[in-house]
C-alpha cells in the first residue's frame, strides 16, 4: 500500500469551494473542534471518506452560535448537514469533573476556549451540548436539508443519560436536538449509506448503526405486525418517565445497553422519551482490517487547516499512528467499548509502515514517532480462537482462554518501523494492559528497553479490590506482579524502570479511607501517584449509572457515592498531602512548588 500525494485540506469556506470549481455543496460537516486534517480527528476521517466516494464535502468548524451567519456563508448542502460536537463531549471539553469551567481547550487555537482573551467571557468557541445548538442553527439556515448527528457526544447521549454539569438526567440528544437521524459508534458504514440514500432521495430508515426519532403513529407504522414487547426482536428500555419516577431503572437500562453492545445483538432497541420514541438499529459489522487500512490510506494532510494556527491536541498526536480499533476491556468508567465496539480490529503491517514512512518524510519530522497505539495498544494482533462470543469480556476477571495473543506480531511491527529511514525513536505511549504484558514477556522487555518515552504509563486505577471489582478491573495483585516483573527486567537490562501509575478518586464506592489505602499501597510498591483525577460521570458508562443511583450493578445493594465537591476534596487532599510528604526533601520539587 502507498499513500497518494497529499491533497489540500477539505474546504472550510465557500470561497475555497469555488476555487475548486464547485457549483454546489453535497455535504457540510459542522464540528466543535478546529479542523485538523489528521485521521485521529473524527470529522477529518469522515470528511475524507465521503470525499473518496465522490461527494463535495466542506467543514464548518467552531461556528458562532448566537447567529446563523457562519452557516449561511455556505449554500444549502444538496444531501445532508452532519453535526458533531468534536472529539470530546462538549460538557467534558468545557467543564472539569467537579463542574469548574475549563480555561483551556486542546482542540481550540492556542488552547483558548474563548473567542476573546481567556476569561473574557465574550463567547466560548464550543457551546454546551454543542450537538443541540448546532442542529438548531443548521435547521434555521437549511430548513429543507436533513440534519444528521454523529460523533462521541451524540453516540453516548443517544438514550436517557446523565449530564453532570446540570446534575440531572436528560432525554436522548436526538429528541432534544430534533435532528433527522443519529449515527452512533464510529459510523463509517452508516454515514456512507446515509449519503447514498440522500443522493437517491430514499428515506433514512432502517440503516444499521443509526437511531431514529419516531412518534407513536410512526412507530406503529414501523412495526405493523409486531408487538412492542416482543423481546425476541426488540429490547425495550425503561422510559424517561419511568426512570424519573424510579431512578434504579436507569441502572437497569445501562446494564441492558452494555450487554447489548458487547454481544452485538441483532435486536432493535427502543426507548420512550417524553413525546417521542428513539429507535436504534443494530450495529453494522465492524470494519475489517482491509477496510480500516483503506480508511487510513486516504490523503490526509496531517496538518491543521492553515487558518487555525496552533492546536494543542494536534501537537500531541501529529506523529502518532493508530494501529488498532476497539477494546474488550469493558472498564465500568470507560465508554470506548460502547462507542468503538468490543471487537478488536488491527491494521496490517503494510498499512502502518506506509503511514509511518509518510510521517518520516515530512520536512518538520523530528525523528520520533510518539505512539503506535489505540484504545489498548497491546491488543494489536489479538484474535478470538472461537471467532466471537456474546460476552466480549476478554480480560476480566482474568484473560479468556480463547483470546489468542501473538507477541511476535507486535515485536515484528516495532522492529520494522524502527528501521524506517529518519526514525530515531519509536514509542508506545497509549494504554497498555498489564495482564497482557505479563503474558508477553519478550514484548514487555522490548518496550521497556527501547520504546518507552521516559516512563511507562500504567492504569491500575486503584489498589482496593472491592473498588477494582466495581471498576471492572483486575485485583491489586496484578499490579504487584507486574511491578515485580518490570524490576526483574530492569535488573537484567541494567536500567531503572520508571512507572507512572494513573488512579481514579471518588469512584462510586470510594471514601477517603480508600484514598489512604491507595497511598499506602503505592508507597509499599515504591510508586508515587502523580497522575490522578476525580471520577467524571460521563454519559454512557456503568460507573455513571452507579453514581446516579447509588447502587452496585451486580446485586443492586447501596453504594457510598461522593457527589458533593467537599466529599471529593477530602480524597484529593489525602493524595496531595501524601505527595508533598514524599517529596519534602526533593530540591527540584521544592523549587517547582515555590514557582
Backbone angles phi, psi at 384, to 5 degrees: -105, 130
C-alpha cell, 362: 515530512
With beta carbons less than 8 A apart as the criterion, state whether 521 and 463 touch: yes
Q: Are residues 114 and 196 in the same domain?
A: yes
Backbone angles phi, psi at 542, to 5 degrees: -70, -35
Q: Which residue has the cell 495483585?
A: 477
452 in Cβ contact with 426 (< 8 Å): no
Alpha helix stretches (DSSP H) within 32-102 = 42-52, 69-72, 90-94
| Domain termination residue (choose one: 378, 395, 430) | 430
Return the bridge partners of 325, or none.
Answer: 345
- Judge whether 103 lies within some domain: yes
290 in a structural domain:
no
User: Is the Cβ–Cβ distance between 538 and 156 less than 8 Å?
Assistant: yes
Closest CA to 421 of 378, 459, 367, 475: 367
Q: How many CA atoms lie within 13 A of 320 on its CB side?
A: 23
Please state the rounded mean pLDDT for residues 423-434: 93
The total number of residues shown for the chain amounts to 595
Average pLDDT of every residue of the chain: 93
Whether residues 365 and 464 fall in one domain: no
Of residues 586 and 2, more confidence is placed in: 586
What's the mean pLDDT in 579-586?
Answer: 66
Q: Which of 395, 415, 430 is the last residue of a domain?
A: 430
CA distances, 49 to each of 59, 296, 298, 566 (Å):
13, 9, 7, 47
Model's pTM, two decimal places?
A: 0.94
Q: Which residue has the cell 418517565?
A: 241
Helical packing angle, 349-360 and 289-296, nearest 10°? 10
Q: Smallest Cα–Cα separation from 154: which of 90, 222, 242, 202?
A: 90
Contacts with 224 (C-beta within 8 Å, 6 or more apart), sequence order: none
Give pLDDT, residue 530: 82
Beta-carbon count within 10 A of 35 CB: 26
In a domain, 100, yes or no: yes
Same domain, 70 and 162: yes
Same domain, 479 and 557: yes
Q: Does residue 354 carry a pLDDT above 90?
A: yes
How many Å separate Cα 270 from the centre of its chain? 24
Establish if 129 belongs to a structural domain.
yes
Q: Is 19 helix (H, G, I), strand (E, B) or coil?
A: helix
Q: Classify residue 3: in a domain, yes or no.
A: no
Residues 204 and 161 reside in one and the same domain: yes
SS (H, E, C) 182-220: EECCCCHHHHHHHHHHHHCCCCCCCCCCEEEEECHHHHH
Dump pLDDT digits (tens) for 464-501: 999 999 999 999 999 999 999 999 999 999 999 999 99
Pairing of strands 425-426, 147-149: unpaired
Range of the domain at 185: 14-280
**Could you tell me if residue 61 is inside a domain?**
yes
Residue 388 belongs to domain with CATH number: 3.30.750.210
Q: Give the H or E element holding residue 593.
A: helix 587-594
Average the pLDDT over each of 105-119, 403-417, 424-438 and give the range with the smallest value: 105-119
Confidence of residue 592 (pLDDT cuts 50, 70, 90): very low
Radius of gyration of the chain (CA): 24
**CB contact at 8 A, 311 and 34:** yes
Last residue in a domain, options 378, 398, 430:
430
What single string gives the DSSP state of each residue in 257-305? HHHHHHHT---EEEEE-SSSEEEEPPPPPPP-HHHHHHHHTS----SB-
Residue 119 to residue 247: CA distance in whole angstroms: 37
Is 287 a domain residue?
no
At residue 584, the pLDDT reads 63
What CATH number corresponds to the domain at position 562? Answer: 3.30.750.200
Three-state secondary structure string covering 306-341: CCCCCCHHHHHHCCEEECEECCCCCCCCCCHHHHHC
pLDDT digits (tens, 9 = 90+) for 278-332: 999 999 999 999 999 999 999 999 999 988 878 999 999 999 999 999 998 889 9
SS3 label, residue 163? strand
Nearest in space to 323 (alpha carbons), one of 360, 371, 286, 357: 371
Question: For residue 529, which of 458, 438, 433 has the smallest C-alpha distance?
Answer: 458
Asked if residue 154 and residue 31 are part of one domain, the reply reads yes
Set of cell numbers at residue 183? 449515527
What would the mean pLDDT of 431-457 be, rounded to a whole number?
95
Reading the block at residue 575, the C-alpha cell is: 493524595
Which of 39-53, 221-235, 508-522 is predicted least confidently?
221-235
Q: CB neighbours of 459 closer than 8 A, spacing ≥ 6? A: 431, 501, 502
Does one domain contain both 93 and 172? yes
Query: Tens digits of per-residue pLDDT, 195-217?
Result: 999 999 999 999 999 999 999 99
Residue with cell 515504591: 526
Residue 581: pLDDT band by 50, 70, 90 thresholds?
confident
| Residues 373 and 522 placed together within one structural domain of the fold | no
Same domain, 346 and 486: no
**Crossing angle for the helix pair 441-450 and 477-493, nearest 10 degrees?**
60
State whether 147 and 51 are in the same domain. Answer: yes
145 within domain boundaries: yes
pLDDT in tens, 243-275: 999 999 999 999 999 999 988 888 999 999 999
Tell me how far CA of residue 325 lies from CA of 286, 337, 346, 379, 398, in angstroms.
10, 10, 7, 9, 21
Same domain, 465 and 549: yes
Measured CA to CA, the distance from residue 263 to residue 527 in angstroms comes to 38
466 and 571 in one domain? yes
Contact 80, 145 (CB under 8 A): yes
Cα gap 505→565, rounded to integer Å: 12
9, 35 Cβ separation under 8 angstroms: yes
Which among 181, 157, 149 is positioned nearest to 84, based on CA atoms? 149
In the chain, the number of structural domains is 3
Amino acid at each position: 500500500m502507498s499513500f497518494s500525494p497529499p491533497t489540500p485540506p477539505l474546504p472550510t469556506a465557500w470561497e475555497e469551494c469555488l476555487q475548486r470549481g464547485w457549483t454546489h455543496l453535497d455535504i457540510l460537516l459542522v464540528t466543535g473542534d478546529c479542523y485538523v486534517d489528521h485521521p485521529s480527528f473524527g470529522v477529518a476521517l469522515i470528511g475524507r471518506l465521503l470525499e473518496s466516494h465522490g461527494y463535495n464535502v466542506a467543514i464548518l468548524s467552531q461556528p458562532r452560535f448566537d447567529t446563523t451567519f457562519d452557516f449561511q456563508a455556505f449554500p444549502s448542502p444538496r444531501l445532508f448537514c452532519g453535526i458533531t460536537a468534536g472529539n470530546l463531549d462538549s460538557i467534558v471539553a468545557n467543564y472539569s469533573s467537579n463542574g469548574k469551567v475549563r480555561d483551556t481547550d486542546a482542540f481550540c487555537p492556542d488552547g483558548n476556549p474563548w473567542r476573546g482573551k481567556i476569561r473574557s467571557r465574550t463567547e466560548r468557541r464550543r457551546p454546551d451540548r454543542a450537538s443541540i445548538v448546532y442542529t438548531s442553527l443548521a435547521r434555521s439556515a437549511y430548513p429543507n436539508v436533513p440534519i444528521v448527528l454523529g460523533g462521541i457526544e451524540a453516540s453516548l447521549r443517544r438514550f436517557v443519560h446523565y449530564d453532570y454539569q446540570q446534575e440531572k438526567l436528560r432525554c436522548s440528544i436526538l429528541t432534544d436536538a430534533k435532528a433527522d437521524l443519529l449515527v452512533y459508534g464510529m459510523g463509517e458504514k452508516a454515514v456512507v449509506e446515509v449519503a447514498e440514500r440522500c443522493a437517491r432521495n430514499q428515506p433514512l430508515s432502517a440503516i444499521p448503526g443509526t437511531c431514529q426519532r419516531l412518534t407513536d403513529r410512526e412507530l406503529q407504522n414501523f412495526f405493523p405486525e409486531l408487538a412492542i414487547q416482543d423481546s425476541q426482536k426488540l429490547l425495550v428500555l425503561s422510559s424517561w418517565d419511568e426512570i424519573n419516577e424510579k431512578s434504579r431503572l436507569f441502572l437497569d437500562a445501562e446494564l441492558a445497553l452494555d450487554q447489548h453492545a458487547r454481544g452485538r445483538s441483532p435486536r432493535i432497541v427502543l426507548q420512550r422519551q417524553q413525546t417521542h420514541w428513539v429507535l436504534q438499529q443494530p450495529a453494522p459489522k465492524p470494519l475489517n482490517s482491509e477496510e480500516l487500512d483503506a480508511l487510513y490510506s486516504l490523503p490526509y494532510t496531517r496538518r491543521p487547516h492553515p487558518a487555525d494556527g496552533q492546536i494543542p491536541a494536534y501537537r500531541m498526536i501529529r506523529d502518532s499512528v493508530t494501529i488498532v480499533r476497539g477494546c474488550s476491556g469493558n472498564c465500568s468508567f470507560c465508554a470506548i467499548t460502547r462507542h468503538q465496539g468490543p471487537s478488536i480490529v488491527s491494521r496490517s503491517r503494510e498499512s502502518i509502515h506506509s503511514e509511518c514512512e509518510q510521517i518520516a518524510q515530512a520536512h518538520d519530522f523530528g525523528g520520533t514517532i510518539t505512539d503506535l497505539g489505540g484504545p489498548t495498544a497491546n491488543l494489536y494482533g489479538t484474535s478470538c480462537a472461537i471467532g466471537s462470543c456474546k460476552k466480549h469480556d476478554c480480560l476480566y476477571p482474568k484473560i479468556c482462554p480463547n483470546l489468542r495473543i501473538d507477541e511476535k506480531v507486535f515485536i515484528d511491527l516495532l522492529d520494522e518501523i524502527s528501521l524506517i529511514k529518519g526514525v530515531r525513536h519509536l514509542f508506545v505511549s497509549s494504554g497498555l494492559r498489564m495482564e497482557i504484558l505479563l503474558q508477553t514477556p519478550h514484548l514487555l522487555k522490548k518496550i521497556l528497553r527501547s520504546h518507552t518515552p521516559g516512563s511507562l504509563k500504567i492504569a491500575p486505577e486503584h489498589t482496593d479490590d472491592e473498588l477494582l471489582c466495581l471498576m471492572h478491573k483486575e485485583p491489586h495483585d496484578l499490579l504487584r506482579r507486574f511491578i515485580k516483573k518490570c524490576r526483574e527486567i530492569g535488573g537484567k537490562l541494567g536500567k531503572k524502570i520508571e512507572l507512572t501509575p494513573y488512579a481514579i478518586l471518588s469512584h462510586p464506592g470510594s471514601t477517603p479511607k480508600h484514598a489512604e489505602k491507595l497511598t499506602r499501597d503505592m508507597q509499599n510498591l515504591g510508586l508515587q501517584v502523580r497522575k490522578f483525577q476525580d471520577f467524571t460521570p460521563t454519559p454512557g458508562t456503568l460507573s455513571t449509572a452507579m453514581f446516579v443511583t447509588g447502587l452496585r450493578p451486580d446485586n443492586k445493594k447501596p453504594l457510598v457515592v461522593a457527589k458533593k465537591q467537599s466529599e471529593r476534596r477530602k480524597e484529593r487532599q489525602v493524595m496531595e498531602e501524601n505527595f508533598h510528604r514524599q517529596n519534602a526533601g526533593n530540591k527540584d520539587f521544592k523549587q517547582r512548588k515555590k514557582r
